Chain A
Amino acid sequence: MNGRSARALLAAAAAACWSCDKVPLHDINASFTVADASWFEDEETMFVFYRAQAEQGLGDQSAIEISWVTDAEVVPWTRLQDLPAVHTHLPVDCTPRGRCGSWSVRVPLPPRQVRLRLRYHPEGSLALDAPLALNLVGSGPAHTNRSLLVYGVMDATNTRVQWRARHQFPALRNEEVQELGLRRFFSVAGAAHGDVGPLPGDDPYGYAFAPGCPATLTPLGWAAVETTDRAIFDPGVLPLTAATSPAVCAPATVTDAKGTFTAPAVARKNPETHPAFPSLHSPIRENTAVGFLLHPCNRTISDPHLRMQEQRLLLDGAVEICLDGWRDPGFADATAAVIRARADEVRAQGADMVLTLAVHHDVTGGALGAVLEQALEAALAPEAGKSSPRVSGAFVFDSFAYGTTRPVVSRLALWCPADLGDDLDLIPGTSVRQCPLLPDLPDLTLGPFRFGNLPILPTRKQYLTFINKYSEAQAGRMKALVFLAPERTPLSQNVPVEPFGVATFFNNELVTAQPEDAFSYCAGGDPLAGAVVFRVALAPDPLPLQVLPQLHSMFPQPQYSLGLIWDFPFLTRATYEVVVAGSASAFSFTVPFGVGIDTEAYYGNRLWEAPDVALSHTLLQCTRFCDAPTFDSAGVYNVTALFRPAYQDQCYRPSFPEPGDTSGGFPRDP
């Protein structure tokens, strides 16, 4: 063997000896995460709860041991399960790496030096001492100084009672105690219904609020129920005669080391609520379009543009108004008179109307627009307060972009194309904001191909430029123009709301309420509920619906009128064909082509799209038991969250217990 081979063998031997120790021993690193002992003087019972964990599995032989000292006895280390249990304790699966559970033993006198430990093996002497927390609960009121209280809740119909037990420990929560295996027996017998009166402020569940249930209650004759679960439904059903009774009271018996303890338990009815006004119904009618064509009668400006305006408004048989004398002082009044006359003719047919005006002119600067505004104001203003049939508003298709200046016209007329001005924050309202000026698709150029489309309501300059570039056939066309507006009754009232809105109270829609009633407003409960306002006799100005619960709480009113707030009186649904126009330029020839696309657009107020504004999820009215505790959407009984104060500005979506529900005898009760 040469030197190189010898060195290789030596290195291999060294490598072989690396990590060739015996397999080491590892500590399981056991520890307690819960070690709690609570002693209740009135029950002479000490409860022990523990939860021990180890990184590696605890053997089957590992056990929890306890020892304590009182003035009368010394209890040496004893396996917990070897002590007689006062209550039922179920074995708890804490995975092979844990030991957890609970136990209860009778200890008549206050315990001292209570110690708890995990003994690794009964035959071994090694153990892990627990950092035990000991709580001593002296004698006192049952609802605070006993380890268990009993209360009742009602189902959604307020006719079935579920009796519940709730663990009360100084350092552990109700459901945690249940998870650690403690089960308490309780029984309820001799239920009676009626008014138990006000409960003590520090006893929200009403457990043991008195030595017994008031003698004034009416016995129900129900059979006794008992369980070791945390809850059980009473099979009895409240009779109709108990409909006005706010509560059911019954003596509840629990066990302890001394025997039994009986105290009254109370089940209070849930707040009786219903949608205060399920739906604000306002019939939406299709309005008749009353067409007018305003143009110079003595000269021609642009035939293609005039044809386009007539087509866009679908003017057929429209009343023609000559604009040649628009500078005359009486032109506005004369025009208004023509409009009124025509409107009165159509009114006889019984339908609401929308004026459609195509204004064909070449007067720049807005002077003609101002005159027409004056005429429209004179024609529309008297109509706003009329009952149907009436003129709902006007749709003006101008030759130039124009911005309205008169508030009445801005509120009642859709003037297209609109001049939005330079400051977008100053756009006055829906009528101007929604009038389209932009094309549906942006222009696109690909080599010799060019694509574009025209807004359906263009200015004359836009239109003429477009048809020069493409063709008149590709400018699109209006296929249908539908105007929808609410029907007004003779009782309908308009209340102006600054700066641009109007609140309309259509037909005496009222919410009536008793002073003891309570309301709950749920923001976002219904999509259009924000448009609903109310007013009361004391304050005729419309108020937002969300303040109604507070208002009724402070200044109860017998009735509240409901109305809709709007900023434009009708909705225009335009169905038109927009053409994606294309042209190909080659060898100095331009060949136009296009693809038509049916499009639908809405101008105006979408509030008038459907006849109903749902309020069923927005405004709830409680008419009975409004000061009772409430369930939340998770089914938790919030005993201190009374409906009246807690849900004025919150959504009330309770989840009530039901017989046979998935929680069984263990409802969610943290």
Chain B
Amino acid sequence: MTPSGALLAVLLAAAAPDPAAQGEPGEAGAKEAGAKEPQPPPPAADEQALEPFRIPVETIVERMVGSASRAVRFDWRKKRVGVAVVASDLVELNNFSSLKLGVSARVPLGGFIGEAGLSWVGTWGSHSTELLALTPYRQVARPRRFQLEANLAYPLAEGVATSRPGFFPATELVFSAVAGLRYLYYPGSLNGLSLREGALALVAPLLGQAEVDNLEAARLPAMEIDRARYGALGGLSLDVYFPPGAFFTPRVMISPPLLSLGSGLGWWWELTVSAGWMF
């Protein structure tokens, strides 16, 4: 059933005559049946037992109004593909800073939104890491790298909103839960490896010792290279669509340690802003 069809069904149900209010249904039925024996009246409904399940028509209409009106301004489900530029601040609980820049493509997948992207992540030290480099201690972090990304978003709430300033058209808002996967590739990490060793290393969940040794030059002072090659994140995002196709998406994602095999980073966040166009 389409949203408009669902709304129509709800309204028709609300407008239908209440059989209890019209009275004498048995009499009319008897007239139509002619010679039939009069039937005993049905037992009276247990109004007290039904009462917790009764929902006012107004409430039903309120619940469905979002679904029924979501395509009023911009229907992203009818678009084929969207492209966007992405910028992120990777918030790790260490003394290094990481920023991400990249591109992504998003595709409506039924009720979901699928995304794939490629990013470059730059990492910088800090005064704290400079001081730490004077000691025999190291802190886990990740050097500069490429990231392959995949996200799947499930819309939780959608609606039309009036935007400010007034010359902006009305916008379509989609609030979604997002799950994402990250694949990290460190340039230069496979130097000196044979074809077979390189192929195996590319899919291994953790960086091998040879890869870590190759990254020694890319490692910042005081950095202990995090060996995790994959990352999993979950979070929330808000897509703001402007007809006829522009969109803007702030997103917050978090990587729980249990989902990042072999990582020593603990919790870390990805604060992302992306902007693009749906075609």
Contacts and interface: CB of A to CB of B under 8 A. Distances in A.
Interface of A: 19-28, 30, 54, 56-57, 59, 61, 95-97, 120-121, 123-126, 128
A123 B139 contact: no
Given A57-B216, A59-B133, A23 B138 contact: no
Contacts of A19: 257, 266-267
Given A19-B267, A21-B93, A23-B265, A97 B213 contact: yes
Given A21-B266, A24-B139, A57-B219, A123 B224 contact: no
A466 to B, nearest CB: 61
- Provide the main secondary structure of the chain B interface: loop
B84 interface: no
A28 B94 contact: no
A82 B263 CA distance: 40
Given A25-B138, A61-B133, 20 more contacts: A19-B266, A21-B93, A23-B92, A23-B139, A23-B140, A23-B141, A24-B139, A25-B139, A26-B137, A26-B138, A26-B140, A27-B137, A59-B133, A95-B213, A120-B135, A120-B136, A121-B133, A124-B133, A124-B134, A125-B134
Contacts of B265: 23
- Provide the main secondary structure of the chain A interface: loop
B267 A128 contact: no
Contacts of B264: 23
Interface centre among A22, A30, A97, A125 (most CB of B within 10 A): A22
Interface centre among B133, B136, B137 (most CB of A within 10 A): B136
B77 to A, nearest CB: 31
Nearest to A126: B135
Nearest first, the 9 closest Cβ-Cβ pairs linking A and B are: A124-B134, A96-B216, A23-B94, A121-B134, A25-B137, A22-B93, A57-B216, A96-B213, A20-B267
B137 A28 contact: yes
A301 B133 CA distance: 108
Contacts of B267: 19-20
A413 B224 CA distance: 85
A26 B135 contact: no
B213 A23 contact: no
Interface in B117-153: 132-141
Contacts of A96: 212-213, 216
Contacts of A54: 136
A11 to B, nearest CB: 14
A128 B266 contact: no
B3 interface: no
B155 interface: no
B108 interface: no
B139 A26 contact: yes
A23 B134 contact: no
B255 to A, nearest CB: 12
Interface in B255-279: 257, 264-267
B216 A26 contact: no
A523 B93 CA distance: 71
Contacts of A57: 212-213, 216, 219
A59 B219 CA distance: 9
Contacts of B198: none
B134 A120 contact: yes
Interface in B173-232: 212-213, 216, 219, 221, 224
B136 A27 contact: yes
A126 B134 contact: yes
Contacts of B219: 57
8 contacts: A20-B267, A22-B94, A23-B94, A56-B138, A57-B219, A59-B221, A120-B136, A125-B134
Contacts of B257: 19
Contacts of B137: 25-28
Contacts of B221: 59, 61
Contacts of A24: 139-140
B54 to A, nearest CB: 20
Contacts of A20: 93, 266-267
Given A19-B257, A19-B267, A28 B138 contact: yes
A19 to B, nearest CB: 5
